[in-house]
Every structure is written in structure tokens, then in C-alpha cells.
Amino acid sequence: MSKIDIEKPPVKVGQDYTIEISGLGHSGEGVGRYQDFTVFVPEAIPGEQVQVKIVEVKKNYARGALKKIITPSAQRVAPSCPVYEACGGCQLQHMSYAEQLNWKRQVVVDAIVRIGKLEQVVIHQTVGVADPWYYRNKMQFPVGRSGGKVIAGCFAQGSHAIVDTELCYIQHAANNEVACRVKELIQALGLTVYDEQTGTGLIRHIVGRVGAKSGEVMVVLVTNGRDIPQQNKLVSMLREQIPAVVSIVQNINIKRTNVIFGAETRTLWGEDTITDYIGPFKFKISARSFFQINTPQAEILYAKALQYAELSGKETVIDAYCGTGTIALFLAQKAARVFGIEVVPEAIENARDNAKLNGVENTEFSVGDAVDVLPSMYDEGIRSDVIVVDPPRAGCDQAVLETFIKMHPQRIVYVSCNPSSLARDLGYLAQHGYRTIEITPVDMFPHTSHVEVACLIERKAQE
């Protein structure tokens, strides 16, 4: 047999195969092997024997569509959502919630060991919720048209085809109401909807924001142009049909892009912001503000970060990616001073406003990339007893980690939404005098493959 034959994948597109599922991939898909060749199967669970139709073959792996479950897992449950199989919004509704929490912890364990090369780190069970449904306080649904009907919902898995959704099981009830009412009004008023292929049509996205504790609702219409026909009538009908609405906003995005928001936002009626609370703190949230989408779980995550910081009231703390200041305000309760750094100017404005709103006077916020600001702070003689970092999914730039190390903080608290980049950064810190003590995963996004973690890192004793 030739070398080419040996290396040829043993599966073919369009063919059916019986596969034993032995694990889960990082996106929640089942992972099995056929003749020692890896096959990824969405909606399959470890321990199951399944029949699969191969839809894609690469050199080292294939992807298959689940055709039949021959031997089901005891952890398999019926998805609540009627469009779950088509929709790309959730990945794990077919798995019991308890097993979702187990798997999310295992994702963290695997990353820490495989990527970070770290042993003996305490990784706690994932902190779940009593009711893992209707939790998202922010909705962003693309709008389209099908058979003359206005539709809105998440994209189908692996495509930009909109799956029309009347009731999203992970959206707050108020956001579901917003989506339904706005679709009806677009249809009734004869407004055009955006077409990605041609770049024409007016309404691009329906965005809903709700204060989980305040109950206040914001409706945002993302439009491909400034002028909205019958704007006053649209606003009047939204106010009539959504009694909890306090803000109706237009965001203008005329670019041919997949980015949802454009640069210009204007308030059509009501307030510029809605109000919500995390713990004892009050926040004003604008259309484009970052705010954790699961408010009760955010409170748990930030409380854990505060616990890991072990503050006595005398410490100087740096929050290296502070966003709108949510974690910084929690830290300020027990620190002497908190310095926040964020590259987005609007976020820093929000952070300063949030500090004033809550009467917090021991915070200082700076605009800039942490890569540039941290070394400048170091050169100015600012030293931090504790550093808190909540970076983007890509993790920390190495220059940022190097500055952490130069500052010699006693503790680093790392909040992450990506176990892989977290593990990489923890591995680097381990090589430069820091030891990861423990990690707590928090389920911010039930029924999806995402997990958030809080991590305690301490400086090693000098030998």
C-alpha cells in the first residue's frame, strides 16, 4: 500500500458511519473516532454510539451530522427550544444541566494541564444557577425577510441564515417581547430590512437591553441609514406595546460589515441609558456599553474575584482591563486605591460616571492600551499589591504579563472567558515566579459552550 493510501482519511463525505463518542470538543460537540480518525459530531454526548453522516473531511479530522442515536447517554435530555437543532445560539440543550457544569469544569482542567502544563491547581466545580433559562439581559437579533414575512433570531449554525425565533429560551422575557413587537411593527409599517448580499434595506438588527433588577427596557434599532420612515409612529407604537420601555435608540451602521453597531447612536425617545445593579452597585447602561449579560452570575463572579484579592483596605490595586469599571468598584470596597485601565474611551467615561453614581472616590481610570499604560505607571513609581485582569478572549499581551512580573504584586486575580488563553498566560507566569493556587469556573452562559473563570495566582516565596 502506498504512503498516499495510508494517509487517506478513512471516511467520505455523504457516507454514514457508526461511531462511539468518547469526549466533547471545546465548542460542545461530541468527539469520536472511526478507524483512529477523529470525527466531530454536534449534539452527541460521551458514552453514546451514534450513526453519523459525514459532511466535511479534512486531513486530520472530519465533521459529521447526527443521524441516529443508537445507544443514548443517561445525560441526554430533550431540548426545550423547538428550533434548537437549527439555531446556532445554544450548543448544549441536549445535555442535562448538571452534566453541562461537569463538562465546563473539565474544559478548564484540560486547558490548564495540556496548554499551561500546570499540575496541582485546585479547580472547583462550576458554579451553576438554580434556573438556567431566560437569563440574557442583552439580545442582538439580525433581521431579515422570508416569504414576505419579517423574521429575526440567531443565525443557523455555520451560516448567516436567520432562524426565526418567537421565544428564545435563554433570553430575558422582556427581550423576547421586544423582538416580537418590533418584527410586527416593521411588517405593519412596511419598513425594509437589510440584505447582506446587496447591502440594501433599512433595519439590520433588533437589540434589546433589560435591567434584570430594575426591569427597565431599552430598544435599539440598528439601521442602514439615518432616516426611518414613520419614525414618530414607530416610537409611539413601541411605547404603547412595551410598557416597560424607558429608552428607544437608533444606531446607524451603513458599512458592509458583520459588525453589529456603527459609530453613531442617537436617542429617539426617553433616556440615553437604562439602570441595573450588580451587588450594591448601580450602573447606567447605554446602547453600546459592555455589561455582563447574566447579572446574577456576574455578581457571583465579581464576589469571587474580590475574595481572591484578599484585600485589607491598605492595598493599591490595578484593574488592567477595567471596561466600564464593574470589577473596579467591587475592589474599591476593600482597597486603598484602584487604578483602572481600558483602551475604549467611552468605557472609561462610563467607569468614571459609575464611580460618581455610587459615591466611590478611591478609583482612578486611564484611557489606553494596557501594553502602553502599565509600563508608564511602573516608570512613574506606581506599584500594585494586587493586580486584577479581565482581558479579551485572546488573553494578555506578553508585554502586559512582563510588566505584572516587574511590579511584583503579591497576588494576581485573573478573570477569563477563554480557558485556552488563560492557561497559556498562567503557564508564562509560572515560569516567572508565580503559582496558580485555585480556579473557580462560573456558568455565565448556560446551554452554551462558554465558561467564565476566576483564578487566584500568588507570587512564589523567594528561595
Q: Which H, E and C letters describe 226-241, residue by residue? A: CCCCCHHHHHHHHHHH
Beta strands across the sheet bearing 203-210: 149-152, 138-146, 203-210, 217-223, 245-252, 264-270
Cα distances (Å, whole numbers) of residue 449 to 131, 343, 419: 17, 28, 12
Host H or E run for residue 151: strand 149-152
**Do 79 and 87 meet the contact criterion of CB atoms below 8 Å apart?**
no
In this structure, the dihedral spanned by the alpha carbons of residues 350, 355, 357 and 359, taken in order and rounded to 10 degrees, is: -170
SS (H, E, C) 257-275: CCCCCCCEEEEEEECCCEE
Q: What is the rounded distance in angstroms from the CA atom of residue 126 to the CA atom of residue 109?
A: 11
Catalytic member of 90, 396, 417, 455 = 417
Q: In which residue are the cell numbers 501594553 written? A: 371
Indicate if 180 belongs to the active site. Answer: no
Please give the positions annotated as active site: 417
